[in-house]
Structure 1
Amino acid sequence: MTTSATAPVPALELPATVEGFRAQFLRNLSFSGGVTLDEASVNDRYLALARTVRDFLMVHWLHDQHRQAEEQPKTVCYLSAEYLLGDQLDNDLLAGGLTEAAEGAMAACGIDLDELRRHEIEPGLGNGGLGRLAACFIDSLATLGVPSIGYGIRYEYGIFRQTFEDGQQVEQPDAWLTLGAPWEQPRPEAAQTVSFGGRTETDAAGASRWIPGWNVSAVPYDYLVPGFGNDRVNTLRLWRAKATDAFDLRIFNSGDYEQAVRAQTFAENISKVLYPEDSTPQGKELRLQQQYFFVAASIRDFLARLPEGFDLARLPERVIFQLNDTHPVIAVPELMRVLVDERGLEWDAAWAVAQQCFAYTCHTLLPEALEVWPVELLGRLLPRHLEIVYRINEEFLDAVRARFGDDEMRIRDMSIIAEFPVRAVRMAYLATVAGAKVNGVAELHSQLLRDKVLPAFAEFFPQKFTNVTNGVTPRRFLRLANPGLSGLITEAIGDGWITDLERLRALEPLAEDAGFRASFAAVKAANKARLNDVLQARDGMRVGDGHLIDVMVKRLHEYKRQLLKVLHVVSEYEGVVSGRVPLDALQPRTVLFGAKAAPGYAMAKRIIHLINAVGSVVNADPRLEGRLQVLFPPNYNVTLAESVIPAADLSEQISLAGKEASGTGNMKFALNGALTIGTDDGANVEIRELVGDENFFLFGMTEPEAEQLGRDGYHPAEFYQADAGLRRAIDLIASGAFSGGDRSVFEPIVSNLLYDDRFMVLADYASYMAAQERVDAAYADPDGWTRSAILNVARCGFFSSDRSIRDYIERIWHTPPTA
């Protein structure tokens, strides 16, 4: 290796030409795959192609690793429990400027590149918006040239593969690794040992020492994260759990084969699945094991990168650990333990370092989503860490008393340790006390975070709280997902928008150009045809010709209010079949749902059942003549999203105001020319302000109005009684019309709406129905609709993850890009 900080590390130069790519592909096919071109299966060819792309990127990765080791720049370590990456092939070809070379090479070999694209299985490493945001952010970090490492877990089976049986969700293992994992690079030499359990001891000097009860090995697998067009390649490092002593030959030879591998099975459970069902004590413990496992390995891994003799008092000059929600917050006591117990820093010095090395992003407004860990569990699994949390809390509460006196209720409200209903550690509080900054993810969310979720902390630490509105990567969600539209945009304004999305503003005058509107409408029609091809091949489904495509795709949770969308569908259906609404008055519409429910979330799974049941009845009823249909393709993922989003006309963002942190699906749809129907919630507020009220279908209560209704006493049955349309829709569901006459099937949903309805579905129903009437009227004017769609695209450049990362750099990280 060279010693110059600027000289490249010696590496094989691979010419990014058709012939250079073809030669490397054939080498991989023969030497890695062990087959000739004629013998190779589709999987052989796909694996060889993926390895070839990695080879080209690896040259730049090696150079970047060498340069960072020499220059030691400040690095962003992004700690996230999930990364919803999507397919890697096209993304890496685009970022590396290899698309033309790959297409030419495959053609020269007589290979259908599209067949290899269809063969790829996306990594099952994420669930919803949190994981997709993390994937967008690491893309932008690389594109902006910011030294960074993403850290997470290499889940063997991911979240789950969703199937439907009789309309009900069934969870299957997501065996995404079955056909090989060519995008990852195992690094067993960099494995870290992670400890659990045991006890603590106090020495004669009063220092505490952890005596662990058992260990696991964290084995890293690296994914390359290429920046777009800049030869920058960062790293996503994911950890797999393995037993430190995986196999006991003595026990095996005694005939107890199961016991011989018990340690291996126990350890490997840690990285089996994303978000194990935690309604049992065993499930809760496994979740905490996962969280500690990956942050402990990650902290050790980063510290190992520091030069020998590095002064740890200067650690904040080298790293910022970004905590993506509360899942990685156990990293705070872990860093303190390492600094104090292993590296010998005094407590005060270590705490001064730690408070500059962490920043916390809160992704929720729901109190139940702010993680707490029972003291009993944390003390049993991580006894030394509980001691550290106690001391952090004690010193923090001393500071609170020093400022506010002995205000017992304030002390209880701000204590990291909750006393009721069980003693537990409040992880959001710990992150707020320890973090240099705390940010929300939309303007409204950040305001509510300060005013209602963590108000006492915002008063105590006003300088800590800031906002960074989320964003999405334009490379994947416009350039790749919507080639027709991206080509039209580039033809009109050039290709600079790919890394500077605000340039889309130049499209605004073209909304008044009839020729551009016609071209834009043609792209949308082609995207609808493409979606039909995908749905037909994937699920045997088809969108009706000429239909408005009305899309609601997101994690299934009551606060997102998929039930409100179902009530709209049922109301439309009931109006026609009852004869009250003439069929020709019904706007042809396909309502497309995509959602997974957490395995232990019974109400969410009932809602999925209801959606499918309503769809089965509506789609089969000849009285509708196909003018209304409901599609719910199972196992919605990034790959399907890349076909759904460009085809959508209407984006449903209908959470109760004050409950959605931000949303990123809303941004993707608007950037691809879908109009939004939504409440003033999360980033909807900023979307509406940017695109204009006339290009957004606003409905529902504001956050203050919803809060006031709750204070006054919300009685959903009163809304049911007062609104005849709502009453007819709920009564139809209650009658068994969608459950074969069995009234008991959906009774829990009906009762929930009438007597609980904590997300005020019924209160917003009338306003929502009125907004849908405005949708129908607007869609009846195709040219006017297209004009609004163009303005949505033109005015949403703000929602780039590149802009988000620049905001993080300026407001939180202070990590300038490197050349």
Structure 2
Amino acid sequence: MQTIFTDKETFKKVFIEEIKNTYNVDLKDSSIVQRYTILAKLLETNLDEAYRKTNAYIKDNNLKKTIYFSMEFLMGRLITNNLQNSGYYDVVKKAFQDLDIDLNEVEQSETDAGLGNGGLGRLAACFLDSAASLSLPLFGNSLRYQHGFFRQEIRNHKQVEHLDPWLDQPFIWETRRDHEAIDIPLFGYVEHTKLINPVWIKAVPYDVKIVGDQNGVVTTLRLWSTEPSDKQMMQDKKYIKMSKDISEVLYPDDSTENGKTLRLMQSYVFSAAGVKAAILEHKTLCRDIRKFHEYYTFQINDTHPTLVIPEMMRIFMDEEYLGYDEAWDITTKTCAFTNHTILSEALEKWNIQIFRNLLPRIYEIVQEMNRRFKRVLEEDGRFNREQMYFMGLIGHHHVRMAHICIYGSFSVNGVAQLHTDILKNIEMKNFYTLYPNKFNNKTNGITHRRWLIHTNHELVQILDEKIGTTWRQDLTQLERLDAFRKDEDTKKKIDQMKLAKKQALADYILKHEGVSLDVNSIFDIQIKRLHEYKRQLMNILHIIYVYQRLKTDPVFKKNYYPHSFIFGAKAAPSYHMAKAIIELISRSSEIINQDSDTNHLLKVVFVENYNVTYAEYLMPAADLSEQISTATKEASGTGNMKFMMNGAPTIGTLDGANVEIVEYAGEENNFIFGLTAEQVSEIHTNNGYKPREIFNEDPRLQNVFSFIRSMHENPQHFDYILNNLLNSDYFLVLKDFDAYAHAHVIANETYKDRSKWLEMSIANIAHSGFFTSDRTIEQYNQDIWKLTKIKF
């Protein structure tokens, strides 16, 4: 197909003309943002034909679709992704070189789309990329948040949250589709299954193109924005504000009843709109509603979209007039559930009063589901009264979303082998006993197109030279690099690659954080959501211990290899402990970095407003990947995979996907420490852990605590953290501290043998092929979705 991107001369001509016509300026006088805008618009328009062709193929061939329902899609910047996957990147780069334009600078002018927070959203984004690249008809469904999670500022060492104004700059990649808007009913009351006097909200879809990797496939992520509905007669200021608030911000503060109601509204609106849109499409194509499951699978990503299940039941029964049993049969053949957590407190539960008030008809349906499920349990005969109560969809005060998902889905999957085993054998053991055939594992993956090909050109060049280029389509071929593990030329080039990526990160950190890092030091990086189970606290306690030892132990100081610890994390605005840990890291880093006696050996950086763009600098630059969650608490992790793929050994526990990383790359090529899953479970079961005893017997910890108390003019300032460690330490920070410190001694010593370290680095790269999201998506499709590929 002839396009303006066919060759650089054609592209240059059109690009210059568009700059002139749109902004009435010559190219030399145009701004970076203007150049980005024109490039993005030209590319977006150019993708329209592939988008139409993809949809036409799906329709003409009656292909089944998967709708991937997720509260988050953390997309990052799309300009690079879309240029690379469309195959136009090199044409644009060469054209811009002729025009003396820095493409990298133009790319960086795009704002990260504020549609996610952490690993859940980044995984969903990887899945969209992989599915399109594998020619699968998978489509995303979420909310179009006016403001993302939040923009983080560290002020006086504390996290301050600002609205993320990502949509203040036009989002060129979206297309509003007014004619497909859907009215959603909230509140009201029920008479004979009919909802009376509801409050109507209009959900308007915006479609974002998802570009497959040079295969002509373009699918979409559908984002719903909420507005006042024409069906709503009374439209006062309160109503108008509510209608807009639903899609205003990702994860609004839920510390109040209004905040909780708003979150439940969000979950319902994007779930209900996605379900309704699919049913409308099905009927428009004149298909039998009873065969709906033959044309759609709804993948429920975590518990936020749980209401997909009762909403399907509502539509089938109340609008399509099917009986309960028939509606349930179709629903349970359509829905599949991915569980992302082991933490019981993270399994969504909604207060009955809030749920019933907001969604009275949906609550009636859930009550009926619960009544019938209770009958299933009673007839099964294997569960006692207490077990049946705790398995129920509704408890005394709460609606249990995960239980609805398990009962209402034909597939329930975990996201790493250890995680799935824990679900089956511990957390959801009774459900596994009841439904053994529903449970399966789908270990997470990452899109190597973004996290290797797009972000690490230096490593790509080495791989192309050593093992050819076909690994790009089949990442398992990275294993061929293992033959070069002891090859001096390969080690030298990997060393040069890592130094280049560290220099790029150091420059970026100096510019944004004002901290200068020694690029020859070990870059030790922990970047992820701030949560106690991820144990950023253990990391900073250990750093303080190292600092104190450098100050007091001349032999240790003489032998210590320079080490730069880098953190990136956001804490939920109402999570007091997480925010206190950020302040502890920030205050400690200031003291450590300003100490001229030791700062040539030890630096600490907390990067502000960690996001996908920052991650693209951090992942390839890491020497050491911190994956130190308490065993049994991290479902999978995906940052660990990105670090591995870019050549960083893991210092970590046998938790989540770390277990599989070590299986593939070898324990000898990583630094594994700490309690195992079995040991952690035993400690929590026996409830005999006494952290204060560990503290009393370890002068290192006593000195660290003393240092923390001396950091602030108020010695009790951080006692909230310290007392929690001494009296509870649920995540076993003190229990694992000694093993963690020992692992760091080994890692620091190993790094001095640069040749050995580079062999470890190569081993990790060579065995990272399993962790591509292409493999994950193929497994989802083979075992769960059973989609037919798009073949032009």
Amino acid at match of 2:469: D
Within the candidate set 214, 232, 238, 2:217 is matched to 232
Letter in 2 for 1:606: A
1:304 partnered with 2:276: no
Matched position secondary structure for 1:624:
coil
Letter in 2 for 1:45: R
Query: What's the counterpart of residue 369 of structure 2?
Result: 392
* Per-residue deviation, 1:350: 0.7
Please say if residues 303 and 347 of structure 2, whose CA atoms lie closer than 8 Å, have aligned partners that are also in contact: yes
TM-score with structure 2 setting the length: 0.97
Partner of 2:200: 215
Q: TM-score under structure 1 normalisation?
A: 0.94
Residue in structure 2 matched with residue 348 of structure 1 by the alignment: 325
Gap change, CA 1:33 and 1:470, over 3 Å in 2: farther
Question: Residues of 2 paired with 1:33 and 1:300: CA distance?
Answer: 41
Q: Which residue of 706, 715, 722 maps to 1:743? A: 715
Q: 1:532-564 CA deviation, whole Å, 9 max, x = no partner?
A: 122222222322242000000000000000011
CA–CA separation in structure 2 for the residues paired with 1:649 and 1:244? 53
Query: What amino acid does structure 2 have at the position aligned with 1:271?
Result: S
1:289 and 2:273 are equivalent in the alignment: no
Q: Distance in 2 between matches of 1:14 and 1:50?
A: 13
Q: When the two structures are aligned, how many residues end up with a matched partner?
A: 789
Counterparts in 2 of 1:388 and 1:31: CA distance versus 1, 3 Å:
farther
| 1:625 CA drift (Å) | 4.1
Judged with a 3 Å threshold, the aligned counterparts in structure 2 of structure 1 residues 34 and 213 are, in CA distance, closer, same or farther, namely: farther
Q: Which secondary structure does the structure 2 equivalent of 1:418 belong to?
A: coil
Q: 1:376 aligns with which of 350, 353, 359?
A: 353
The Cα offsets for residues 562-584 of structure 1, whole Å up to 9 and x where unpaired, read as: 01101110100111223465422
Secondary structure of 1:321's match? strand
Residue in structure 1 matched with residue 538 of structure 2 by the alignment? 564
Cα distance change on mapping 1:34 and 1:82 into 2, 3 Å: farther
| Cα pair distance change 1:165/1:496, threshold 3 Å | same
Q: CA deviation at 1:35?
A: 5.6
- Please report how far the alpha carbon of residue 29 of structure 1 lies from its aligned counterpart in structure 2 after TM superposition: 3.6
Tell me, what secondary structure is at the counterpart of 1:543? coil
Deviation at 1:710, TM superposition (A): 2.5
Aligned 8 A contact 1:553 1:594 in 2:
yes
Identity between Structure 1 and Structure 2 (%) = 38
Matches for 1:537-552 after TM superposition, within 5 Å: 537-552=511-526
Partner residue in 2 for 1:515: 489
Task: Give CA deviations for 1:623-653 in whole Å, capped at 9, x if unaligned.
Answer: 2042101001100111111111111000000
Check if 1:732 corresponds to 2:717: no
> How far apart, CA to CA, are the structure 1 residues paired with 2:285 and 2:217?
26
Aligned to 2:437: 463
Instruction: Pick from 672, 691, 695 the counterpart of residue 665 of structure 2.
Output: 691
Aligned: 1:624 with 2:598 = yes
Query: For 2:737, what is the secondary structure of its paired residue?
Result: helix
2:762 alignment partner AA: I
Counterpart CA distance in 1 for 2:149 and 2:548 is 37
Moved over 6 A (4+): none
Distance (whole Å) between structure 2 residues aligned to residue 412 and residue 541 of structure 1:
55
Q: What's the CA shift for 1:104?
A: 3.1
Q: 1:716 to 1:219 in 2, by over 3 A?
A: same
Alpha-carbon shift at residue 520 of structure 1 (Å): 0.8
Q: Deviations over 1:439-472 (max 9, x none)?
A: 0000000000111111111000000000000000
Report the counterpart of residue 729 of structure 2 in structure 1.
757
Secondary structure of 2:108 counterpart: helix
Is 1:339 the counterpart of 2:311? The answer is no
Amino acid at match of 1:544: D
Query: For structure 1, which segment, 401-410 or 267-276, has the greater mean C-alpha deviation from structure 2 after superposition?
Result: 401-410
* Segment drifting more, 303-312 vs 654-663: 303-312
| 1:766 CA drift (Å) | 0.6
- Deviations 1:779-798 (CA, angstroms, capped at 9, x unpaired): 01001000100000001110
Report the 3-state secondary structure (helix = DSSP H, G, I; strand = E; otherwise coil) of the residue aligned with 1:623. Answer: coil
1:345 is displaced (CA, Å) by 1.3
Task: Tell me if the contact between 1:133 and 1:472 (Cα under 8 Å) persists in the aligned partners.
Answer: yes
Residue segments in structure 2 that go unaligned for 5+ positions in a row: none
1:39/1:190 CA distance change after superposition, 3 Å? farther
CA contact (8 A) 1:74 1:319 kept: yes
Tell me if the contact between 1:12 and 1:59 (Cα under 8 Å) persists in the aligned partners. no
Find the residue that maps to 2:590 and give its secondary structure.
helix
8 Å Cα contact 2:502-2:519 kept in structure 1: no
* Residue 343 of structure 2 is aligned to residue 359 of structure 1: no
Alpha-carbon deviations, 1:57-106, whole Å to 9, x = none?
A: 22211111122222221101000000110111111110000012212333
Residues 388/528 of structure 1: CA separation in 2 closer, same or farther (3 Å cut)? same
- 2:529 partner amino acid: R
What is the aligned partner in structure 2 of residue 319 from structure 1?
A: 296
Cα deviation, 1:382-422, whole Å, max 9, x if unaligned, reads 00000111111111111111111783112212111112xxx
Instruction: Find the aligned partners of 2:162 and 2:277 in 1 and give their Cα distance.
Output: 33
3-state secondary structure, aligned to 1:463: coil
- CA shift for structure 1 position 194: 1.1
Distance 1:294 1:24 in 2: 39
Please tell me the residue identity of whatever aligns with 1:484.
E
CA distance in 1, matches of 2:200, 2:347: 28
Distance across 1 between alignment mates of 2:232 and 2:97: 48
1:693 partner amino acid? E
Q: Secondary structure at the match of 1:551?
A: strand
Equivalent pair of 1:33/1:48 in contact (CA under 8 Å): no
* Cα gap change, 1:67 to 1:389, in 2 (>3 Å): same
Q: Which residue of 2 aligns with 1:103?
A: 93
Choose which of 617, 621, 632 in structure 2 pairs with 1:647: 621
Paired residues of 2:566 and 2:606 also in contact (CA < 8 A): yes
Q: Deviations over 1:205-244 (max 9, x none)?
A: xxx1122521111111111101111111110111111111
Matched, 1:769 2:751: no
Contact 1:360/1:437 (8 A) holds in 2: yes
The residue identity in structure 1 corresponding to 2:376 is: A
Q: Which residue of 1 aligns with 2:763?
A: 791
- Mapping of 1:653-692 within 5 angstroms? 653-692=627-666
Counterpart of 1:512 in 2: which secondary structure?
A: coil
Amino acid at match of 1:444: L
Aligned to 2:252: 276
Determine which of 547, 550, 555 is the counterpart of 1:576: 550
Deviates more, 1:274-283 or 1:25-34: 25-34
Q: Which residue of 2 aligns with 1:4?
A: none
CA distance in 1, matches of 2:353, 2:177: 35
| Kept in 1: contact 2:200–2:232 (CA 8 A) | no
The answer for the alignment partner of 1:254 in structure 2 is none
- Equivalent residue of 1:271, what SS? coil
CA distance in 2, matches of 1:14, 1:356: 45
Q: Distance in 2 between matches of 1:314 and 1:711?
A: 47
Q: Which letter does structure 2 place at the counterpart of 1:167? A: H
User: Match for residue 696 of structure 2?
Assistant: 721
C-alpha RMSD over aligned residues: 1.8
Gap regions ≥5 residues in structure 1: 1-10, 203-207, 252-258
Corresponding residue to 2:58 among 33, 58, 68? 68
